[in-house]
Amino acid sequence: MSTLSYAVRDSTTMLRRNLKHILRYPVMPLMLIGIPVIFLLLFVYVLGGTLGAGLGGASGRAEYASYVTPGILLITVAGAAQGTAISVAMDMAEGIIARFRTMAIFRPSVLTGHVIGSFIQTMAGLAIIVGVAMLIGFRPNATAIEWLAAAGMLAMISFAVIWFSVACGLVTKSVEAASNLPMPLILLPFLGSGFVPTDSMPSGVAAFADYQPFTPVMETVRGLLLGTGIGHNAWLAVAWSVGITVVCYLWAKKLYNRDPIR
Amino acid sequence: MTQAAIKTTGLRKSFGSNQVLKGIDLEVAEGTIFALLGPNGAGKTTMVHILSTLIRADAGLGTVAGHDLAKEPDAVRDAIGVTGQFSAVDNFLNGEENLMLMADLRHLSKANGRKRTAELLSRFDLVEAARKPVATYSGGMRRRLDLAMTLVSSPRIIFLDEPTTGLDPRSRRTMWQIIRELVADGVTIFLTTQYLEEADELADRIALLDHGRLIAEGTPAELKRMIPGGHISLEFASVEQLQAASAMLGGSQKDTDALTLQVPSDGGVGSIRDLLDRLDRGRVDVSSLTVHTPDLDDVFLALTGQPDGERATVS
Ligand SMILES: Nc1ncnc2c1ncn2[C@@H]1O[C@H](COP(=O)(O)OP(=O)(O)OP(=O)(O)O)[C@@H](O)[C@H]1O
Ligand SMILES: [Mg+2]
């Protein structure tokens, strides 16, 4: 067999292993669905009336539900990052990882197994959140192609964030530290266009908001699903996603390949 | 002379300022059992980690199955199996799934993987526990599963880091039996242990590791010649009995306070029977008898003249 088919086979084996873990000990699904649903309900029902009015025009709670959904979707991605970092850090503490390292298997497969497992969960989580959002007033007007493009955009940023969190899970020495490291990601939708337009922020915060990776992603998803302007945000979002993925993949691979410390 | 399965020259490893291995030269012939003996912290596990490609040596050369550790780690990995000191099983899976996982990662076909898994489950007495989560296994079961996982791919060279530590005497014998069967099939075994008895029982050659250096290496018989014999300790009911026995057995050491007598002996059944026969003929009653066989400490004592702390190196 060729190197590539070994890579695929080993990664599939590791994915199967991770899916079994997830089904037996579902730690991540709780974080994945619970946190964004609470945020969604909080922002629509508690803050939505006032924030919606602030959007201008004849907006209200219902319009705000539509506005905030892309932000909530990115919160979901950030939550998944935390779950991934925790499960990678926990796995690295397991003795079986040492066994894997003494076997002639495609090295990154331990990591790709985690990534694809988390990715599947994240996409399922995002679908559930979209469903919940639609129940409480999210009214997208997208065509099938636009839905597909939005899903693709979310898939790309999820992939990037998951590789970042795999590296976080590898670089830390404890599970607690691994769970804290990706925590700031949860703030990015707030410090961006997730909950209120960036032009309503003080200039310093607005500058950060305009140049951080989540803003173009949220603007692109919002544009695709609600028909608002996208502009150059789509390219920015794709560039950020690909860039983060490549850098974090190489970083994670390097971290995994260094000698293990007990 | 057979080809060397494992060969190292000048292997060194430090963790920070802690020099753990200070230049190790060793050679293990194909199809033999090599035992690395040493106290806690001697560097046994570090040695296994280096030879099994888990960590890299700082300096020195090593070949395993004819492949250089540094240059062709994957070729080495294809030839070896490792059962580490600490459990290396997947706790979230059951025993059968653990073995199937190994079969998949060793690229066996599904049918072969299933066949091998069934064989190993029955060989290691795990059929009943096969579908139970490994987290519920006892230490001994876990150890057996660990070794079974190592054997899935029928490796030619196997590393066993303290394979019997924590096992009850019966499980230990079973483990010894399995190790002997493997060698009978031509497998090379590199094992570490803290028990001289175990090394004596199994190994073709033994090396003593202490403070990062090999202080002695040879066959069990060669090493035993370096160690003073053990002794038998006899306890008596009265001083009179003790005096009588002491007069009868030359070269013995008596302790009148404890009412004991230490008689040099190899600890074998023949010599014990002989000793008891002599006491019987002299009508001396022994209230208790303990056999003291030379242990690791005696070996170090003999080879270095110091029981603990900094030892001078001999070899
Ligand atoms: N990853 C590590 N980082 C720092 N020090 C280490 C590391 N691994 C081992 N050591 C040190 O190296 C020395 C040798 O350890 P090693 O585990 O090889 O000993 P051992 O002979 O296997 O002992 P034991 O009988 O207790 O298993 C010890 O002093 C230990 O503290
Ligand atoms: Mg050890």
Give the amino acid at B218: G
Q: Is B93 on the interface with A (CB under 8 A)?
A: yes
* pLDDT for residue B229: 65
Determine the average pLDDT of the residues in B243-252. Answer: 85
Contact A189, A161 (CB under 8 A): no
Give the amino acid at B276: L
* pLDDT for residue B309: 43
What are the structural domain ranges in chain A? 3-256
Contact A71, B41 (CB under 8 A): no
* pLDDT for residue B306: 52
Nearest to A95 among B86, B93, B107 (CB): B86
pLDDT, tens only, B192-215 = 998 888 888 899 999 999 888 998
pLDDT, tens only, B134-167 = 999 998 899 999 999 999 999 999 999 999 988 8
Cβ pair B105:A1 closer than 8 A: no
* pLDDT for residue B295: 62
> Cα A225–A227–A230 angle (5° rounding)?
95
In this structure, the number of other CB atoms found within 10 A of the CB of residue A107 comes to: 16
pLDDT, tens only, A117-127 = 999 999 999 99
Determine the average pLDDT of the residues in B270-298. Answer: 83
Q: Which residue of B has its CA nearest to A22?
A: B92
CA distances from B257 to A83, B165, B240, B283 (A): 68, 37, 13, 22
CA distance A34 to A25: 16
For residue A1, pLDDT beyond 60:
no
* pLDDT for residue B157: 96
Instruction: Note the ipTM here.
Output: 0.86
Determine the average pLDDT of the residues in B69-87. Answer: 93
Å from CA of A28 to ligand 1 middle: 35
Helices in chain B by DSSP H: which ranges? 44-51, 73-79, 95-105, 110-123, 139-151, 169-184, 196-202, 220-226, 239-248, 269-281, 296-304
Among A201, A235, A203, A204, smallest CA distance to A219 is for A235
CB burial of A47-85 (b: ≥16 within 10 Å; e: otherwise) equals ebeebbeebeeebbbebbbbbbbbbbbbbbbbbbbbbbb
Residues 46-65 of B with CB under 8 A from A: 52-56
Residue B230: its H or E element: strand B230-235
Cβ pair B52:A21 closer than 8 A: no
Nearest to A95 among B78, B84, B106 (CB): B84
Q: Is A25 on the interface with B (CB under 8 A)?
A: yes
Most confident of A72-86, B92-106, B292-306: B92-106
Give the amino acid at B213: R
- Which of A11, A102, A112, A259 is the mutation pick for testing B, counting most B CBs within 10 A? A102
Whole-number CA gyration radius for chain B: 23
For residue A155, pLDDT beyond 90:
yes
For residue B293, pLDDT beyond 80:
no
For residue A30, pLDDT beyond 80:
no
Nearest to A10 among B86, B90, B105 (CB): B105
Q: Kindly indicate the confidence band of residue B27, based on its pLDDT and cuts at 50, 70 and 90.
A: very high
* pLDDT for residue A201: 84
Provide the token pair at A200.
Answer: 């309503």
CA distance A55 to B182: 75
Map residue B234 onto helix, strand or coil: strand
Q: Write out the DSSP string of B7-66.
A: EEEEEEEEETTEEEEEEEEEEEETT-EEEEE--TTSSHHHHHHHHTTSS--SEEEEEETT
* pLDDT for residue B313: 38
| Percent of chain A with pLDDT strictly greater than 90 | 52
Q: Whose CA is nearest to atom 17 of ligand 1?
A: B45
* pLDDT for residue B294: 67
Show residues of chain B in contact with A93, CB under 8 Å.
none
For residue B105, pLDDT beyond 80:
yes
Q: Is A204 on the interface with B (CB under 8 A)?
A: no
